[in-house]
Chains A and B, each alone.
Chain A
Amino acid sequence: MAGGIKMPGEEKKQQKQEFWRWTESNWKNPDLDWNDAKIVTAGIDVGSVSSQAVIVTDGRIFAYSNMRTGSDSPESARNALNYALKGTGLPEDRIDYCIGTGYGRVNVPMADRSITEIACHARGAHFLYGPEVRTVLDVGGQDCKAIHCDGKGKVTDFLMNDKCAAGTGRGMEVFADLLSVPIIEVGDRSFDIEKEPEPVSSTCVVYAKTEATGLLRSGWKVNEVLAAYCSAMAERIYSLIERIGVEERFAITGGMAKNKGVIDRLMKIMNIEPMKTEWDTQIAGAAGAALFANTLVAKGKGRK
């Protein structure tokens, strides 16, 4: 907004949006042609912050989209599916079976069935990272999940914490907002410090905010407070994983996988090398859903 007079409220609103920005994207597999496919399935993951749609043809990822979740789940699901199909030439009615997952899973109108995000994340991670994966950590906008799975991507142990904002994307957002730091800069800026500070001691996000305000007042730099919160968050996430234990190999999915301020610190605590993937880590849930759909159709259970 160059020039012109900004109303104070307007500026605040603008800034607020700025802090949450990340890029929406879609992708189509250049090696696949849907005309050759026997089974076409879709998985739609409507999360609290982002929604993804993945299209699978004969068990391989054909196309996907990753978008911001809007104000209601049905519309977010619709937008995600449209965006995934965009430019692929694949007509929607060619989809044999569609599964909804995520926090808004019961509100995915085009889904033939819904499956929990726990099951879908395990299945999706198994695909994205390969069958060696045994522990999947997913830090979402409003929850944190730790899952163990076997060589087939079947869940053997899990916990999900969606009661408390500490250790979730929301906790980080609250902090980014408090410190007026765009969320995508959190990682880099948290390492732009002279010495790693002690982590923020309060787990509770409400109390951590008060603590952070105190730190700023006593002269801490914004980046130092960010670093202190990132490491508190890493410790918090680790304490959740500890409950089910870590079995190698270890993979991280979800939006937080992209925040190295937290993840690098977490890896240091765990002293572990996470698995790598070429795929967008945020599509794990939707990919798992689409793959489940594929299996169901292949087994003849999934015809409408």
Chain B
Amino acid sequence: MITAGIDCGAKNTKTVILRNNEIIGKGSVLTGFDQANAIEKSLEEALKDAGISPDDIEKYGGTGAGMEVVRQADTQVNEIKAMAKAAHFFFPSARTVTDVGAEMGRAAKINEEGRVEDFDINEKCAAGAGAFIEAMARALEVELEEMGPMANESDKSIPMNAQCAIFAESEVVGLIHAKTNKKDISKSIHDAMASRIVSMIRRIGVNEDIVMLGGVGLNPGFVESLRSELEVEKIFVPEDPAFGAAVGAALVAQEEG
């Protein structure tokens, strides 16, 4: 059976094509201000990647902030369920999964079957989402991709007072003026952000193995801050964490289809 999972997120729209539990195609485009268009584009890309035609797809699952716009969707998959399914798919030993994207952070406790037992969500405040690190990268005048590696070169975290992304921007600018090492600033940014996600995880309980999904999972600085805040050996991150929810949606479409 071939299914497609489409995750229309705040920043990127991602499509994953699944054939009998195997990922055969992926597509990702910026969501921008036209969600419908982004959905078509990412699907096209994934179809091309898989080398199949739209007619080959039997079922579609839609998820993400713009899931209502995914007109193809046979099932709309709740984001928590999608991330739980995906975590279980990548790492059957997963008991805790956190998904941090551009505009949200989530955490769920899951059982051996990948079913959700408890969850917490943080949204509508950039302080607890990828947007926070993006805004700080702008303030530091550093490429977003460089932020994580920079942070990992520092072993000094300076306490940051501001919690809000807007106020933290000025604080970072102040630190730069005070000639603080940018690597240390970057580490503090990731630590601050990670501690917010950790407090969410603590509310549902820290149970290993811990899996991280979402675009922020590509940021090694964040993953390291998360790991050390949680005091665990390892955070499990799949190869393409940003496609996590899309994979989950495709899996649900396959099960329910």
Direct contact of A and B (CB under 8 A): yes
Q: Is A163 a contact partner of B124 (Cβ separation < 8 A)?
A: no
For the complex, give the distance between the alpha carbons of A203 and B163 in Å.
Answer: 15
29 residue pairs from A and B, CB less than 8 Å apart: A142-B167, A163-B164, A164-B125, A164-B163, A164-B164, A165-B164, A165-B165, A165-B166, A170-B166, A170-B167, A174-B166, A202-B124, A203-B124, A203-B125, A204-B125, A204-B126, A204-B165, A205-B164, A205-B165, A205-B166, A206-B126, A206-B131, A206-B135, A207-B103, A207-B124, A207-B131, A214-B33, A217-B33, A218-B33
Residues of B near any A CB (own CB < 8 A): 33, 103, 124-126, 131, 135, 163-167
Look across to chain B and name the residue whose beta carbon is closest to the beta carbon of A165. B166
Pair count A-B, CB < 8 A: 37
A205 → chain B closest CB, angstroms? 5
Q: Is A171 an interface residue (CB 8 A)?
A: yes
Chain B residues within an 8 Å CB radius of A205: 126, 164-166
Q: Is B166 a contact partner of A171 (Cβ separation < 8 A)?
A: yes
Chain A residues within an 8 Å CB radius of B126: 204-207
Q: Is A165 a contact partner of B167 (Cβ separation < 8 A)?
A: yes
Which residues in chain A, 100-114, are within 8 Å of chain B measured between CB atoms? Answer: none
Chain B residues within an 8 Å CB radius of A142: 167
A206-B135, A207-B131, A214-B33 are known contacts; what are 18 more A-B pairs with Cβ within 8 Å? Answer: A163-B164, A164-B163, A164-B164, A165-B164, A165-B167, A170-B167, A171-B166, A174-B166, A202-B124, A203-B124, A204-B124, A205-B165, A205-B166, A206-B131, A207-B124, A207-B126, A217-B33, A218-B33
Chain B residues within an 8 Å CB radius of A217: 33
For the complex, give the distance between the alpha carbons of A234 and B131 in Å.
Answer: 25
Look across to chain B and name the residue whose beta carbon is closest to the beta carbon of A206. B126
Could you give, for residues 148-163 of chain A, a 1 whenever the CB lies within 8 Å of some chain B CB and a 0 otherwise? 0000000000000001
For the complex, give the distance between the alpha carbons of A205 and B163 in Å.
Answer: 13
Which residues in chain A, 128-162, are within 8 Å of chain B measured between CB atoms? Answer: 142
Chain B residues within an 8 Å CB radius of A165: 164-167
